[in-house]
């Protein structure tokens, strides 16, 4: 039997931050690199807060700490891209999560829809920033999708503070590579 800790707090009391982080670390999340560009060049950071919000219109969300340098650049540019990393791009996730290094210098990327797109990722969406919603120490960015592409690659996920992928991904039937290329060209 697995033991659990009670995270319930008294009314008005604050839940212990470490216990909350430990709980959220158990939630499986996609690993993405969110990008934008301005006169200073490309910018990007690793984020695991990417989620679908709406199909009509197509909306997605990402959340950033208010202290994030990328957040201000996205708001100023009014646009952002989301690169959904594939299993095997752990090194890129770590590079874009670190500080003080030119993240794009050792990364294969190109411009797509005016935004930096990491080559070889499992998925890509370009978005116009529709709204920024306050949420404690983070801002939730709502983006309207203007372009979406995907490749049949196992997505990189983060859970229990390690990278991995869904263990049954390889059992799914795959579309031919010609279908994938046509899907991206037609956009």
In whole angstroms, give the CA distance from residue 28 to residue 161. 9
Question: 18-185: which CATH number, 1.10.8.50, 3.40.50.300, 1.10.3720.10, 2.30.110.10?
Answer: 2.30.110.10
Cβ atoms of 33 and 96 within 8 Å: the answer is: yes
Query: What number is the average pLDDT over the span 21-40?
Result: 95
In whole angstroms, give the CA distance from residue 89 to residue 151. 14
In whole angstroms, give the CA distance from residue 31 to residue 88. 11
In whole angstroms, give the CA distance from residue 161 to residue 23. 11
Q: What is the CB neighbour count within 10 angstroms for residue 175?
A: 12
In a 3-state reduction of DSSP, which class is residue 168?
Answer: coil
Indicate if the pLDDT at residue 184 is higher than 90: no
Query: What number is the average pLDDT over the span 142-148?
Result: 98
> Side-chain half-sphere of 88: how many Cα atoms within 13 Å?
7
- Report the phi/psi class of residue 87: left, alpha or beta, with left for phi > 0 and alpha for psi in -120 to 50: beta
In a 3-state reduction of DSSP, which class is residue 90?
Answer: helix
Indicate if the pLDDT at residue 175 is higher than 90: no
In whole angstroms, give the CA distance from residue 83 to residue 21. 25
For the record, the structure tokens of 67 come out as 């202290």
In whole angstroms, give the CA distance from residue 110 to residue 115. 8
Query: What number is the average pLDDT over the span 68-92?
Result: 96
pLDDT tens string 85-130? 999 999 999 999 998 778 999 999 999 999 999 999 999 999 999 9
Cβ atoms of 45 and 96 within 8 Å: the answer is: yes
CA angle 64, 33, 133 (to 5 degrees): 25
Cβ atoms of 156 and 73 within 8 Å: the answer is: no
């Amino acid at each position: 039997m697995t033991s659990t800790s009670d995270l319930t707090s008294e009314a008005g009391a604050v839940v212990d931050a470490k216990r909350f982080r430990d709980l959220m670390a158990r939630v499986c999340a996609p690993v993405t690199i969110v990008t934008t560009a301005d006169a200073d060049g490309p910018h990007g950071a690793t984020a695991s807060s990417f989620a679908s919000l709406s199909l009509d219109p197509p909306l997605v969300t990402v959340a950033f700490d208010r202290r994030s340098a990328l957040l201000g650049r996205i708001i100023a540019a009014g646009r952002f891209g989301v690169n959904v990393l594939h299993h095997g791009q752990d090194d890129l996730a770590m590079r874009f999560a670190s500080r003080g290094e030119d993240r794009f210098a050792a990364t294969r990327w190109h411009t797509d829809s005016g935004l930096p797109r990491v080559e070889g990722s499992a998925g890509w969406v370009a978005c116009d920033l529709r709204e920024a919603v306050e949420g404690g120490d983070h801002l939730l960015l709502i983006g309207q999708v203007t372009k979406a592409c995907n490749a049949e690659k196992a997505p990189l996920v983060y859970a229990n503070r390690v990278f991995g992928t869904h263990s049954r991904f390889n059992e799914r039937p795959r579309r031919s590579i010609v279908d994938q290329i046509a899907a991206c060209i037609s956009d």
